[in-house]
Amino acid sequence: MTRIVALLSVGLALAACSTSARGQSLEVHFIDVGQGDSVLIRSPSGQNVLYDGGRRDDDALAYLQSVGVTTLDLVIASHPDADHIGGLEKVVRAYGPRVFIQNGLPADTDVYDDLFLAVQEAGSQVLPPTARRIGLGDATLQVIPPPGDESLGNNDNSVGAIVSYGDFDVALTGDAEQPEFSWWFANVPELFRPVEVYKSSHHGSPNGDSAESVATFDPEAVVISVGLDNSYGHPSEEALALYEGVGAQVYRTDLNGTIIVTASADGEYLVNANPTAPEVATPVPDEFEEEAAVHSSSLAYDPSGPDQDCGDFSTQAEAQAFYEAAGGPESDPHGLDGEGDGTACESLP
Same domain, 222 and 323: no
Do residue 104 and residue 243 come from a single domain? yes
Do residues 189 and 248 both lie within one domain?
yes
Q: Specify the number of domains making up the chain.
A: 2
Q: Do 74 and 148 reside in the same domain of the chain?
A: yes
Residue 21 within a domain: no
Residue 338 DSSP label: T
167 and 51 fall within a common domain: yes
Whether residues 158 and 304 share a domain: the answer is no
Residues 235 and 94 in one domain: yes
Domain extent for 115 = 26-272
**Residue 11 falls inside a structural domain:** no
What are 192-231's pLDDT values in tens digits?
999 999 999 999 999 999 999 999 999 999 999 999 999 9
State mean pLDDT over 233-241.
97
User: Which of 215, 239, 272 corresponds to the end of one domain?
Assistant: 272
Q: Within this chain, do residues 51 and 188 fall inside the same structural domain, yes or no?
A: yes
> CB-based contacts of 260: which residues, under 8 Å, 6+ apart?
27, 28, 29, 30, 271, 272, 275
How sure is the predictor about 291, in pLDDT bands with cuts at 50, 70 and 90?
A: very low
The answer to the question of residue 289 being in a domain is no
Task: Give the global pTM.
Answer: 0.76
Q: Are residues 46 and 87 in the same domain?
A: yes
Is residue 287 situated within a structural domain?
no
268 within domain boundaries: yes
Is the residue at 15 inside a domain?
Answer: no
Q: What pLDDT shows up at residue 349? A: 59
* CA dist list (Å): 188 to 109, 143, 319: 30, 11, 37
Is residue 140 a contact partner of residue 170, using CB atoms and an 8 Å limit? no
